[in-house]
Amino acid sequence: MPAHCSNRSRFPTTALAAVLCSAAGITITTAAASPFHQDPATQAPPPTAQTPASAIAFTRLPPATARLQLLDWIQKHNIPADRAAAAAQLWPDNPSITQLTAEETLDRLVEAFAAADDSVAQLTKTCQAGQLPTTQDFTGPRSDPFCRSHLQLWLARWFVQHRCHDEALPLLESLNPEQLADPASLFFYRAASRLQLLQPGPAGNDLTLLLNNTPDIPPRFRAVAEMMQAEVRTALNSRDGLPQVARLMSDVQRRLDLGKADQPVQKRETEVIDALDKLLKELEDQQQQQQQQQQQQNGQGGGGQNMQNAQPREQGGTQGIRGDGRADRRELSENGAWGMLDKQQEVQARELIRQQFPPNFLDAISRYTQKLAEQKK
């Protein structure tokens, strides 16, 4: 497994056209709950972005100090002599240790924990094989705050790099940056998870702590963090409408890609459908208002003719799809048909999309519905 993420975490944005197909009654299911049990009583409360920037700086745990704490952990928990020697060998008492970066220090610590403990060894082996860890035991020597905090950070980093933000965030939320060899990774990966899970406010706080209160940030962290700050501003300024629907659908797609299915995704799905119902109703109201204004401007004499001219537009637009804002859930067919819509209604919906959105949207919707149908096979 690579020591760190060589590329910035990705935040896919679903095409706006794709989300419109959900208005046709598409049902999406996904996501599993995190199996990692946290004990808040053993964790120190983490600092927040409310502290003035000039009042605190989160410096890394020096490698020499990390070495001493590791040796103390080995002695305190009576690690067998052969395992203790294997772990200590990774941390020789020479100047080369002081040259380790923060990320390298974290990796070296976890490597030493794995040399000393079978459970950690199995965890690292599973991750290095690219497999999702299903359980994690923070008991015995692993319950020690020094060991546990660095294991949590290392494992959470792996989860974020593999887009498993639901599993990563609980591990990261309880960590105290003042106790870590790599506080920059804590703020960076926690911000990434919070942004992906539609928590732009807390994500912005983490980015502030990273960029303003953490010395020696890796250049790639700084570059990506500045881009994430722009995404945070966009998210905070567009909490409604199609941009928010697109973010919801992006999160649903991520969970589908991971093969998950549980209540959180069904909740996201309901939020998407409700938002789309609201948007479609607003489009209908806007179109009706424009027609009424046009009729009033033309006066009574041309009213009948205007009504006659408006009929073809209504038949190609929103007529027949008005309702109370509720959509029955339907399973997708394998050919990607539009949920509960019959052929005539599908034609009307396509015409509405042609009027309101760019021409490539219909092709995107067809590909999207077919993909969702394949997920249900």
**Best CA proximity match to 155, nearest among 191, 105, 106, 97:** 106
List the beta strands (DSSP E) in the chain. Answer: none
What are the start-end ranges of the E strands in 72-171?
A: none
Asked if 339 contacts 23 with a C-beta cutoff of 8 angstroms, the reply is: no
pLDDT at 78 over 80: yes
Compute CA distances 206 → 104, 147, 177, 198, 216, whole Å.
Answer: 22, 23, 11, 14, 16
**Which among 172, 177, 201 is positioned nearest to 189, based on CA atoms?**
172
Instruction: Please give the average per-residue pLDDT across 41-52, as a whole number.
Output: 47
Identify whether the C-beta of residue 363 lies closer than 8 Å to the C-beta of residue 356: no
Beta-carbon contacts of 262 under 8 Å, excluding residues fewer than 6 positions away, are 30, 31, 32, 33
- Give the pLDDT confidence score for residue 279 in this predicted structure: 74
Is the pLDDT at 340 greater than 70, yes or no?
Answer: no
CA dist 19 and 246 (Å) reads: 7
In the structure, what pLDDT confidence band is assigned to residue 354 with cuts at 50, 70 and 90? low
Residue 133's CB is within 10 A of a number of other CB atoms, namely 17
* Residue 259 predicted with pLDDT over 90: no
**Contact (CB, 8 A) for 330 and 26:** yes
Angle at which helix 200-213 crosses helix 183-196, to 10 degrees, equals 160
Q: How far apart are CA 137 and CA 130, in angstroms?
A: 19
Tokens of 302: 């041309």
Give the per-residue pLDDT at 346: 63
Whether 18 has a pLDDT exceeding 70, the answer reads no
351-358: long-range contacts at Cβ-Cβ below 8 A with a sequence spacing of 24 or more?
Answer: 351/316, 351/317, 352/283, 352/317, 352/318, 352/321, 353/17, 353/20, 355/316, 355/317, 356/283, 357/16, 357/17, 357/20, 358/17
Residue range 257-266: mean pLDDT, rounded: 64
Q: Which residue has the higher pLDDT, 196 or 257?
A: 196
Question: Which of 23-32, 238-247, 328-337, 340-349 has the largest mean confidence?
Answer: 238-247
Angle 219-237/183-196 helices, nearest 10 degrees? 30
State residue 26 phi and psi, 5-degree precision.
Answer: -70, 135
CA gap 291, 279 in Å, rounded: 19
Q: What is the pLDDT of residue 300?
A: 56
- Look at 14-18, 130-134, 180-184, 220-224 and tell me which has the smallest mean pLDDT: 14-18
Residues 101-144 have pLDDT tens digits of 999 999 999 999 999 999 999 999 999 998 888 878 889 999 99
DSSP letters, 283-305, are HHHHHHHHHHHHHHHHTTTTHHH
Calculate the alpha carbon distances from 20 to 27, 253, 264, 282 in Å. Answer: 13, 14, 21, 14
Helix (H, G, I), strand (E, B) or coil at 77: coil
At 295-328, the pLDDT tens digits run 887 765 554 555 555 454 444 444 444 445 444 5
Phi/psi for 126 (5° steps) reads -60, -45
> Is the pLDDT assigned to residue 147 strictly greater than 80?
yes
pLDDT of residue 236: 84
Among candidate residues 77, 23, 5, the one with its CA nearest the CA of residue 346: 23
Q: Please give the structure tokens belonging to residue 109.
A: 């610590």
- HSE on the CB side for 249, CA within 13 Å? 28
pLDDT band at 207 (very low <50, low <70, confident <90, very high): very high
**How many residues are present in the chain?**
377
pLDDT at 184 over 90: yes
Any idea which of 85-94, 234-243, 258-267, 356-365 has the lowest mean pLDDT?
356-365
Which of helix, strand or coil describes residue 313? helix
Angle between the 183-196 and 102-116 helix axes, to the nearest 10 degrees?
90
Radius of gyration of the chain (CA): 27
Least confident of 114-123, 199-208, 272-281: 272-281
The pLDDT of residue 260 is 64
Q: Is the separation of the CB atoms in 320 and 344 below 8 Å?
A: yes
